[in-house]
Amino acid sequence: MSEAMKGMKRSHYCGEVTESQIGQTITVMGWVNKQRDLSNVIFIVLRDRTGIFQIAVGRDTDFYQKAKGIRGEYVVAATGVVIARSPENVNPEMPTGKVELDVKELRILSEAEVPPFQVADEDVGMELRLKHRYIDLRRPEMQKILKMRHEVAQSVRRFLSNEGFIEVETPTLTKSSPGGARDYLVASRVHQGQFYALPQSPQLFKQLLMISGLDKYFQIVKCYRDEDSRADRQPEFTQVDIEMSFVDTEDVMAMVERLMNTVCKEVLERDLPKNFPRMTFAEAMERYGSDKPDTRFEMELKNITDIVAGSDFGVFQGAIDAGGSVRGICATGCAAMPRKQIDAMVELVKQYQAKGLAWIVVQENGELKTTIAKFFDASKLNEIVSRFNAKPGDLIFLCADKNSVVFDSLGALRVEVAKRNNLLDPNILNFLWITEFPLLEWAEDEQKFYARHHQFTSPMDEDLEMLQKGENLENVRAKAYDLVLNGYEVCGGSIRIHRQDIQSLIFDTLGFSKEEALETFGFFLEALKYGTPPHGGIAPGLDRLVMLFAGADSLREVIAFPKAKDASCPLTDAPSTVTRQQLDELALVINNAEI
């Protein structure tokens, strides 16, 4: 036992002391939340992970002077008798507000300098919070979130274990593979000039486990992607990796629905629908302009290409002639939106390569005010308004471009309008399956196809012939499925390819030569020869699930030690330079750098 604590042992957590302990002698330990000196008695509010509890040090005690010197964030231990507060001193804001500790012994276990910010201070910049994360994590709301994260992880483990899954750890030093996000590379000292990669996913290992006959696997695992950071992304993240043998799409989706129902019931005490609604990728894009639509509000996209085709408005007609479309959304009740906000919406869609927005205001008297009045007569304008079912007080935004730009722009716009109108209720959990994704995605700048999910995703049986013939590849659909929650993808998965000939066909379609495929994935293609069961899986993102369950705005709020926006760690100053000796051991030379 620590010398400072010798002879004292904590008997109760601060937040767990109740009226049932009145008259008992107990010992509590924690951080000083605040101290009040009332001359004849000093009140100290102690804080630990369970809550706060007030202790009282009387003037007649031997340690009164010691108590006077105690400041915020000192770590102290106190032994005393639990007493009831007088009626006028009861604090209904504190769960322990009906009792306090009449201190008989007080020890300072650790002194503290004035911290760079107060634990109770809510107006602290993220950079400062991350720099001193150990102080930030003392905040009750942060500890509540980390406790929720623990409960979610435990609930997941219990559920999957009860369903017959086996938890297996897979390597974190593995082989780099091209395609997808950039890998984090780790130089090898033993094999100089060669590199490991940190896994973006245990994808191939979990498929190899299915080939090995394990049948059901899971792992709560760290993954790494060297990509630009966003509020809902981190360079290192945690996913619940799951794989199953002898299953089809329905089996995987049904298992995930049971998992989410169990976790929400156990952690949030929330009941979910037994089965989640479903929507194909094509329908999601048509209705919401996104493959991860937020369905907590309406504001669906409408296609008015047929109405405006043949007009003199060059922006619309040019998009149509180029094979694009004209679509829009109706922002209910937003007719009074200031011009400054409308301009902000225009700037928003420009981030998605849109050239701008047209708009129509349906005024309270029913008259229309629009930027396209000189190109369309009243009849056409009314037809557009009717397509949107717009009413007086509504605002219609219109976008014309190639379909991908229109979808991306309006998909982002509807969410932004919803944010500004407080339509995103964090208490609603709208789960939605998105299915039948395109198997391949065309990269215009490189003039080649990429795997939209990953190169081990199986094509739909009815589309296999197109893939084999190399025809209409953009129309080949995948046996892929995403689970979306409130506009975020929280699970992504697919049925995998279990035939070597189809796997080789995919590599060929993606532009791999036979030599490149063997160099990168030879070990996996070899394994496929020796009896591979049909299998599939999914990977719920633990960080993102907890973020949504907690109503947090960023992944940084639900990860104990997250990275900043630039993927650096303000706490440890990582990444950092290394010594010349370390580089020499790895046979590495850094261009234009002084070590």
Does a structural domain hold residue 463? yes
Host domain of residue 57: 3-110
Tell me the pTM: 0.93
Domain shared by 350 and 450, yes or no: no
| Cα–Cα distances in angstroms (integers) from residue 419 to residues 132, 296, 300, 349, in the given order | 31, 11, 15, 15
Domain shared by 349 and 393, yes or no: yes
Domain shared by 313 and 413, yes or no: yes
Residue 1 has pLDDT above 60, yes or no: no
Does a structural domain hold residue 275? no
Domain shared by 384 and 453, yes or no: no
Domain shared by 321 and 400, yes or no: yes
Does a structural domain hold residue 543? no
Domain of 316, CATH number, reads: 3.30.1360.30
C-beta of residue 413 within 8 angstroms of C-beta of residue 345: yes
- How many domains, in total, are found in the chain? 3
Does a structural domain hold residue 389? yes
Domain shared by 302 and 402, yes or no: yes
How far is the C-alpha of 134 from the C-alpha of 560, rounded, in Å?
Answer: 9
Query: pLDDT digit string (tens) for 541-562?
Result: 999 999 999 999 899 999 999 9
Does a structural domain hold residue 329? yes
DSSP letter (8 states) at residue 477: B
DSSP letter (8 states) at residue 155: H
Domain of 68, CATH number, reads: 2.40.50.140
Give the rounded distance of the alpha carbon of 80 from its chain centre: 45
Percent of the chain with pLDDT over 70: 98
Tell me the DSSP string of 267-315: II-----SS--EEEHHHHHHHHSSSS--TTS----EE-HHHHTT-S-HH
Domain shared by 312 and 407, yes or no: yes
Query: pLDDT digit string (tens) for 370-394?
Result: 999 999 999 999 999 999 999 999 9
Domain shared by 363 and 460, yes or no: no
**For helices 140-162 and 249-263, angle between their N-to-C axes, nearest 10 degrees:** 140
How far is the C-alpha of 416 from the C-alpha of 31, rounded, in Å?
Answer: 41
What is the token pair recorded at 214? 């394990």
How far is the C-alpha of 520 from the C-alpha of 527, rounded, in Å?
Answer: 14
- In this prediction, residues 336-359 reach a mean pLDDT of 95
**Residue that wins the pLDDT comparison between 227 and 245:** 245
Residue 179 has pLDDT above 70, yes or no: no
CA torsion sign for 448, 452, 458, 463 is negative
Domain boundary residue, one of 90, 110, 130: 110
**For helices 203-211 and 514-527, angle between their N-to-C axes, nearest 10 degrees:** 40
C-beta of residue 467 within 8 angstroms of C-beta of residue 439: yes
Q: Write the Ramachandran bin of 367: left for phi over 0, alpha for psi from -120 to 50, otherwise beta.
A: beta
Query: pLDDT digit string (tens) for 445-480?
Result: 888 899 998 999 999 999 999 999 999 999 999 999
Does a structural domain hold residue 580? no
